[in-house]
Amino acid sequence: MTPPTACPDARGLKRLIDGRLTWPAEAALTAHLEDCAACQERLEQLAASDPFWERTARNLAGSRTRFPSALDRRLNLSAAAPESPAAAPDYTRRRFLVAAGVALLGLGLGAGIAWKWSAGPNPDSGPAGPTAGGTDPGPAEPRRTGVLVVIAPVDFYYPDYVTVRSGLETNGIRVTVASTARPARPSPPAPGAAAGIITADVEPHRHLSVVRGNEYDAVVFCGGAGVTEYTRPGPAATAARRVIADALAARPPVYVTAVGTGPVVLAHADCFRGGVRATCFPFGQPPGTYKAQLVERGADWVPDGIVEAGPLITAQGPEHNMAFVRRLLDRLKPAR
Amino acid sequence: MADLPATRISLLARLRNRDDAASWQEFVGIYGPVVYGYGRKHGLQDSDAQDLTQVVLEAVVAAMARRGYDRALGSFRGWLFTLAHHKLYDLRARLRRQPPGTGDSDVRNLLEARPASDADQALWEQEYEKRLFDWAAGRARADFQEATWRAFWLTAVEGRAGDAVAGALGMTVAAVYMAKSRVMARLRALVAELEGDDPR
């Protein structure tokens, strides 16, 4: 079949692979890709060279990272099922022995990162940890459960967090909190803030680097000066981008939302390229700095309290947070 | 063999920190199975292959604690092969109740004393490649939805046609091509991370 639109350039295809296209742009490109054999091949060539594709097939044949072969029949694949994976050694005991040996040598193994792999309040989604040693049991199909609330490790805006979380939970929505530090520390109340405003450290359920955006019904990036952690180059920003890309790549896409200064994270993940309507906290230091970041990254900045554009919902912060929660609850109704 | 990659230097350098548990876990998870597989390919029983793995990794730990990885020894991949080869020699000698060699000898001397055959090296390379891709696949799989992973596997690894896979998985053809390309790009990046140079 002849595709109805002109072939995209290599840059567009590369951005498609990287998950860096806006939602409308990706939809247009995938519509073209559906019927264009030439672009299907170009996409593969951009992903890797022919020798690397061959090398991958050769080395992964028989790997336990394949999904369980029991699914072959359900997928009607049994007629041409590949050979059963070769029996692999059980590395469990070996890893124990090695770890014990290393520990005997006085090294401080075992500390530190265990919380990264904890399932948090959502055991159904399971840990997304690596499968070193070839003992991958084969994860279950991701099921969307609740809302992922992302806060900065330092200087997140506590009122954003507490309003969103309590608003969702009191309406029966399961909330999973993710960040890149434990505990995450909020910004102190501004000088002269009304008496009675309190903040507290927050113990996130999961490390942002191990959550997947497609496991939730929605993702909310809360605001605060600390959102720069998710915008400046580094592993935290990479994790944030991946969560956003996974969410938007899901079908139907997961709602990707942000309040206060949070939309800046979405802007740096190129969600607003091409004039997508969005809003954010309009002030900041210097004044308008967050708005400027959205505009620089292609957003059509709108001075409304809440702005929706497809699966993207942005809100300006404090006085709009409750309305934002109500809007999100309304959008999540079909999923509940 | 490829030169010691910059990213590996980074991991190896991190191993000098005795308290860097994450780096040690990563190291053991990646290289342990290579040594184990090498031992098994040489006919060792499971428990002996585990012993081989343990003594080799302990030797790495000791070397790192002493002076870190010495670039003069060549690529880490090759250095580890030499170490594994030597320890395998010792283990076999012990199993035959023969006096073992001196485990503390200089690795370069060992190479001369107990040269590895081309077949040995080929076995090592095979194990190394398998483990490299297995590790990368394990990491990549965690980054994608299960349907994406299946689409990649069925097309890229098992060579099934995109439209057939789309039908089996209930996806569009475009989604299948996106899936296989995105996973492949991630795999390529992970392999490059471990190898430190451009994937072949």
Residue A82, classified by CB atoms within 10 Å of its CB into exposed (0-12), middle (13-18) or buried (19+), is: middle
Taking contacts as CB-CB distances below 8 angstroms, the residues of chain A near B22 are: 112-113
Q: Model pTM?
A: 0.48
Taking contacts as CB-CB distances below 8 angstroms, the residues of chain B near A102 are: 24, 28, 57-58, 61
Choose the closest CB to A56 out of B53, B65, B157.
B157
Q: Which range, of A124-133, A214-223, B25-34, averages the lowest pLDDT?
A: A124-133
Give start and end residues of each alpha helix (H) in chain A. Answer: 10-17, 23-35, 37-47, 50-60, 71-74, 92-104, 158-169, 235-249, 263-268, 289-296, 321-332
Choose the closest CB to B21 out of A108, A139, A249.
A108
pLDDT given at position A70: 66
- Contact, A318 vs A159, CB < 8 A? yes
Q: Collect all residues with Cβ–Cβ distance below 8 Å to B116 and sequence separation of at least 6.
A: B81, B82, B85, B124
Q: Do B28 and A110 touch (CB under 8 A)?
A: no
What's the average model confidence in pLDDT over A3-7? 74
What's the average model confidence in pLDDT over A194-200? 60
Taking contacts as CB-CB distances below 8 angstroms, the residues of chain A near B186 are: none
- Pick among B125, B134, B148 to test the A interface (most A CBs inside 10 A): B134
Taking contacts as CB-CB distances below 8 angstroms, the residues of chain A near B153 are: 60, 66-67
Q: Kindly indicate whether the ipTM for this predicted assembly is greater than 0.85, answering yes or no.
A: no
Taking contacts as CB-CB distances below 8 angstroms, the residues of chain B near A44 are: 177, 180-181, 184
Distance from CA of B125 to the nearest CA of A (A): 11
CB atoms within 10 A of CB A29: 23
- Contact, A130 vs B29, CB < 8 A? yes
Q: Do B145 and A105 touch (CB under 8 A)?
A: no
pLDDT given at position B96: 73
Choose the closest CB to B160 out of A17, A80, A109.
A80
CB atoms within 10 A of CB A180: 23
Q: What tens digit of pLDDT does each residue of B118-158 get? A: 787 888 888 888 888 988 998 898 888 888 899 999 999 98
State yes or no: pLDDT of A75 exceeds 70: no
Q: Do A132 and B138 touch (CB under 8 A)?
A: yes
Q: For CA atoms B171, B177, B179, B180, give the dihedral sign.
A: positive
CB atoms within 10 A of CB A89: 19
pLDDT band at residue A216 under the 50/70/90 scheme: very high
Residue B52, H or E segment: helix B46-67
State yes or no: pLDDT of A99 exceeds 70: no
Choose the closest CB to B168 out of A16, A61, A75.
A75
CA distance B170 to A71: 14
Average confidence score pLDDT of chain B: 77
Q: Do A31 and B174 touch (CB under 8 A)?
A: yes
